[in-house]
Amino acid sequence: MNLSFSEEDLSFQNEVRSFIADNYPADIKNKMDNGIPLSKEDILTWQRILSKKGWFAVNWPEEYGGTGWTVTQKHIFQNELASANTPTLVPFGVSMCGPVIYSFGTQEQKDKFLPGIINNDVWWCQGYSEPGSGSDLASLKTKAVKDGDHYIVNGTKTWTTMAQHADWIFCLVRTETTDIKQQGISFLLIDMKTPGVEVKPIITIDGSHEVNMVYLDNVKVPVENLIGEEGAGWNIAKFLLAHERTGIGGIPALKREIRRLREITSELPLGEGFLKDDELFMDKLNKLEIDLLAAEYSELRTLASMSKGGHPGPESSILKIKGTDLQQGLSDLFVEAIGYYAHPFMSEEDLASNEGRIGPDFAANVMPHYLNYRKVSIYGGSNEIQRNVIAKAVLGI
Amino acid sequence: MDFSLSEEQQLLKDSITQFVDKDYLFDVRQKNIKSELGYSSDFWKTFADLGWLGMPFSEADGGYDGGPIDLMVIMESLGRGLVVEPYIPNVVLAGGLISRLGNEEQKTNFLPKIISGEIQMSLAFAEPQSRFNLSDVITTAKKDGENYILDGYKAVVMNGPSSDTLIVVARTSGTQLDEKGLSLFLVDPSAKGVSLRNYSNVDGSKASEVTLEGVEVSTSSLLGDEGNIYSVLEEVIDLATLAISAEAVGIMEKMNEITLEYTKTREQFGETLSSFQALQHRMVDTFMAYEQTKSLLLMCAAKLTDKADDATKAVSALKYQVGIAAKQVGEESVQLHGGMGVTDETNIGHFFKRLTTIRAIFGNTDYHLKRYSAL
């Protein structure tokens, strides 16, 4: 057992750190540090900077453009990105659809789709949930009927994150109705420009437009856009969800945020002193920090065992539950920290304007963040579903 | 980054696991804890023969040069067996202090006998008012010519009843809470002025209340420098905290297994208990509590091995987490066993009792959270 960084690891850490320092655009950094929403172009700019360096699809096999890094190097990289408060990478292409395509796709499909993902030419979104199929994902009803060399797709997808920016959507569709609902599901790639695809925004309680409804009305999709065999989509869906869940814990970002909250406790006045003098508050902060430390090492254990044998398994469900608990817990502590100044609502326009904030600078995003983060225990398979997964796969019930 | 055990560590783990599974049967343990000694001297001999008692000592001292990770492996495996034999009092506490502070004569006198299992020792550190604060010591040692005179009272001294020699923390100078001015003395429990009130703890282990009234010890009984042992005492208690946390992790792992197995066989309403989702989710939560604790245990063992700057902080993070998880895993295991969980004949309750005492040993969650915050 050896958990310390080697000389090579430390020099790698320096390399990553100086790369970020030299290449992280100042205007994007300014937006990130001040909680101003990023544009699509901002996100793509940063992702392309990483692509160009070969540091975008870090987890992919080397033959498809991955890094071949060790677990420790990946850990260092994620921590450095988060520590510098760089934009979170949009996962739908690089962490979700990409691994599906290189694991289940034909050579032709790999050649067609993987470069677009790794070079950030194509923005992907995820068509999984439907109005009638949330936690019971396998009950999905979007139908794909074969018609010559095309499928005709009809149905509605929901909670589609950033669909307003997307060029393509990967969908779970029903190609056959069977007694066992997990059968007859297929994994289909759809060009969002195809006639019959319509995106409508869903505004969430924090006032933001992040998720959408995607309506599919007689959408004509070439059969060569089917990944894997027809009817074998459920296995692909599960594979993808396990991939989705590992990063979902967001541990590196949590480490940065808790550090920030600790700084804030020394900045926020309280009576004649500062918030840090409030023992009850600091207790909660310290408890959360210990919990985070445990989650961090749980993630490292999972990564270390993954590095020895393939894909993430049910352990990723544990990381999802712990990580999202911590994300919500920390977002709540931020709200507690600033008291009344959590209440003023600032629109995206207010945030971007030069008029100045109400209350402390960081305050404007605190409540929206808390509200927005109610989603984390719901998406990616609700935490109740994760518990079902663990009960079945780990406890063997 | 490598979390796997070395080949030697894996062999050590396998050998203890085999002993626990084959020889350390629950009925035998229950009989032993009711005996006057409170454990099995045969088993203790086995521990010595298999080299477990010598693990943390240097080769020069007759040991195997084991580090915190080896200690973790031993205690986790012993925890799974609910082993009551006093490994921590002898090997980690007494052995740890003597190997770090002892002069050649003291090392020669004690270490080989600890390693061979011929001697039993205890560390008398806590006092009624001190709770977990190691520097809160009222017991005094006053220099009197070639001797020291000890007066005071030591609380809940683990392994006290079997002890051939006590190591007593006493104050040679300073005021009640000072770290400076604490000294260690090797004290014969049968010496004049020493009286022990022996008893059993709820977890089956034995302990003593020790009264010291004008106890005369020679200057050769002083272990380490007079008035200057606090940092070593803290270091050894930190290592013992890792050890008892590892024991707790082993216990929790085992309790989760036993409880899961029970719910898979026990039927109510025509179904096994494990088929009820409300219970499944609670078992997932106790499993996660165990996993979280195990992660911090590994982190802490690695940091102590590397002598990392934040190793002490890691110890407090670990023991805090042990306290939280032990309450959850312990209480839920009993609850999921229903009435059987509170009977003396079922093993789960005995695991629960030991896990519950561990919550306080070397500091409870409040103590370690405060220590973590202050570091």
The segments of chain B whose pLDDT lies below 50 read none
Confidence (pLDDT) at A240: 86
Q: In A216-310, which residue ranges form alpha helices assigned H by DSSP?
A: 233-248, 251-267, 279-308
Chain A touched by B5 (CB under 8 Å): yes
Do A215 and A207 form a contact (C-beta atoms < 8 A)? no
Residues A214 and A281 both lie in one domain: no
Q: Which of B5, B296, B302 sits opposite A294 (nearest CB)?
A: B296
Residues B222 and B249 both lie in one domain: no
Q: Which of B280, B295, B369 sits opposite A387 (nearest CB)?
A: B280
Q: Domain boundary residue among A170, A202, A231? A: A231
Q: Which of B6, B280, B302 sits opposite A3 (nearest CB)?
A: B302
Residues A259 and A356 both lie in one domain: yes
- CATH number, position B253: 1.20.140.10
Cβ distance of A282 and B373 shorter than 8 Å: yes
Of B117, B119, B137, which is closest to residue B127 (Cα–Cα)? B137
SS3 for A48? helix
The count of domains in chain B is: 3
What is the per-residue burial (b if ≥16 Cβ within 10 Å, else e) of B109-128? Answer: ebbbbbbebebbbbbbbbbe
Residues A130 and A257 both lie in one domain: no
DSSP class per residue in B241-289: HHHHHHHHHHHHHHHHHHHHHHHHH-EETTEEGGG-HHHHHHHHHHHHH
The C-alpha of B199 sits at a distance from chain A's nearest C-alpha, in angstroms, of: 36
Q: Quick check: is A326 in a domain?
A: yes
Q: Quick check: is A112 in a domain?
A: no
Chain A touched by B321 (CB under 8 Å): yes
Confidence (pLDDT) at A39: 94
Residues B109 and B194 both lie in one domain: no
Cβ distance of B6 and A321 shorter than 8 Å: no
Of B73, B102, B101, B100, which is closest to residue B87 (Cα–Cα)? B73
Range of the domain at A188: 122-231
Give the whole-angstrom CA distance, residue B353 versus residue B361: 13
The C-alpha of A381 sits at a distance from chain B's nearest C-alpha, in angstroms, of: 15
Of B125, B131, B69, which is closest to residue B365 (Cα–Cα)? B131
Any idea which residue has 């703890």 for tokens?
Answer: B201
Residues A299 and A222 both lie in one domain: no
Cβ distance of B292 and A4 shorter than 8 Å: no
Q: Quick check: is B356 in a domain?
A: yes
Residues B197 and B239 both lie in one domain: no
Q: Quick check: is B2 in a domain?
A: no
Q: Domain boundary residue among B182, B204, B227? A: B227
Q: Quick check: is A159 in a domain?
A: yes
Give the whole-angstrom CA distance, residue A102 versus residue A106: 8
Q: Quick check: is A15 in a domain?
A: yes
Backbone phi, then psi, for B94, in 5-degree steps? -65, -50
Cβ distance of A293 and B296 shorter than 8 Å: yes
Residues B261 and B365 both lie in one domain: yes
Confidence (pLDDT) at A248: 67
Number of Cβ within 10 Å of residue B132's Cβ equals 18
Confidence (pLDDT) at A238: 85
SS3 for B124? strand
Cβ distance of B372 and A286 shorter than 8 Å: yes
pLDDT in tens, A126-178: 999 999 999 999 999 999 999 999 999 999 999 999 999 999 999 999 999 99
Contacts of A112 (CB under 8 A, 6+ apart): none
Of A276, A80, A344, A2, which is closest to residue B305 (Cα–Cα)? A2
Backbone phi, then psi, for A201, in 5-degree steps? -70, 150
Q: Domain boundary residue among B191, B208, B227? A: B227
Residues A211 and A259 both lie in one domain: no
Chain B touched by A135 (CB under 8 Å): no
**At B323, which helix (H) or strand (E)?**
helix B311-336
Cα–Cα separations (whole angstroms), residue A195 to A190, A215, A220, A224, A267: 11, 11, 8, 18, 54
Cβ distance of B369 and A287 shorter than 8 Å: yes
Of B79, B30, B82, which is closest to residue B344 (Cα–Cα)? B30
Q: Quick check: is B186 in a domain?
A: yes
Residues A372 and A267 both lie in one domain: yes
- CATH number, position A264: 1.20.140.10
Residues B236 and B364 both lie in one domain: yes
pLDDT in tens, B339-357: 999 999 999 999 999 999 9
Confidence (pLDDT) at B70: 98
Residues B15 and B110 both lie in one domain: yes
CB < 8 Å from B in window 303-322 of A: 303-305, 318, 321-322
Q: Quick check: is A191 in a domain?
A: yes
Range of the domain at B176: 122-227
Residues A160 and A85 both lie in one domain: no
The segments of chain A whose pLDDT lies below 50 read none
Residues A69 and A141 both lie in one domain: no
Residues A141 and A210 both lie in one domain: yes
Residues B283 and B340 both lie in one domain: yes
Tokens, residue A345: 């609502």
Q: Quick check: is B183 in a domain?
A: yes
Strands A143-147 and A150-157: antiparallel
Q: Which residues in chain A are contacts of B69 at CB distance < 8 A?
A: 1
Residues A142 and A227 both lie in one domain: yes
Q: Quick check: is A244 in a domain?
A: no
Q: Which of B280, B298, B302 sits opposite A391 (nearest CB)?
A: B280
Residues A294 and A210 both lie in one domain: no
Cβ distance of B281 and A391 shorter than 8 Å: yes
Give the whole-angstrom CA distance, residue A170 versus residue A146: 17
The count of domains in chain A is: 3
Of A151, A171, A170, A165, which is closest to residue A199 (Cα–Cα)? A165
Q: Domain boundary residue among B89, B120, B151? A: B120
pLDDT in tens, B243-301: 999 999 999 999 999 999 999 999 999 999 999 999 999 999 999 999 999 999 999 99
Q: Which residues in chain A are contacts of B301 at CB distance < 8 A?
A: 1
Residues B300 and B286 both lie in one domain: yes
